[in-house]
Amino acid sequence: MSDEALGSLRAVPGSSAGGAPEVNPAVYRLVVGVTYLPVLLQGGHLEVHGHEYVPPPGQALIVAGNHRSALDPFLIARALPGHHLQFIAKKELFVPVLGPIIRAGGSFPVDRDAHDVGAVRTSLKILGRGGTVGIFPEGTRGGGEIHGGVAIMAFRGRAPVLPVGLRRSGTRWVVRFGPVLEPVGQVRELTARLGQELGRLAAPYGRPCSDLPTYGSPEVASGAV
């Protein structure tokens, strides 16, 4: 999506929902709880690191993570108690029965094959009321390439980006937050910084910084790190 196409889009502080999905707290908690069952049934557990970097609820925030499995959005949501994380989800998920549940949890669809300005407008409305928007910059699982849409949204919504790396090691499902990235500089620069952070956060602890792969490398995309 070009910067020109989004030039007129801005988050309006204090704006009403105006078409943006509301979160049903009961459904949100139920979905986050039920989707943790596969982890428990495999004898696994969730480890969360970097909580000190998470801003408090009530202010505009974009949460951007690498995408490894279908459980990723729910694990991130579980790692962010107090926040209602509203994910941008592919439109193919919004089918009868499942679609209404996803919407009740606050998420909304995007057409990945088109310049979906409507999804961006919805995101900016959520940010304008101090909400939290979740997005996978790769666009698909294991895509390995960071797209510039997150940075554009951050600039338009005047919202910081909270990077989060996800990885699995045996029975450990690890969610690791990093310092927020403020929307300063250029879109390309913020996109590059986000890619570097996701590569660092998705790698194991204790690995020398000079030895870390760049995001989008086969090593990161395959989950070898």
pLDDT digits (tens, 9 = 90+) for 135-165: 998 865 444 567 778 999 999 999 999 999 9
pLDDT the model gives residue 195: 93
Q: Which residues pair with 163 in a beta bridge?
A: 64
pLDDT the model gives residue 194: 95
Domains of the chain in sequence order: 4-222 (3.40.1130)
pLDDT the model gives residue 113: 62
CA dihedral 27, 30, 35, 38 (to 10 degrees): -160
pLDDT the model gives residue 206: 54
Name 58's Cβ contacts closer than 8 Å, sequence gap at least 6: 130
pLDDT the model gives residue 219: 43
pLDDT the model gives residue 115: 65
Q: What is the pTM of this model?
A: 0.81
The token pair at 28 is 């949100």
Angstrom distance (rounded) from CA 208 to CA 87: 32
Q: Report, as ranges of residue numbers, the positions in the chain whose pLDDT lies below 70.
A: 1-19, 112-116, 139-145, 205-225
Helix 149-157 and helix 117-128, axial crossing angle in degrees, nearest 10: 40
pLDDT the model gives residue 189: 95
Please calculate the CA angle 32-161-93 and round it to the nearest 5 degrees. Answer: 40
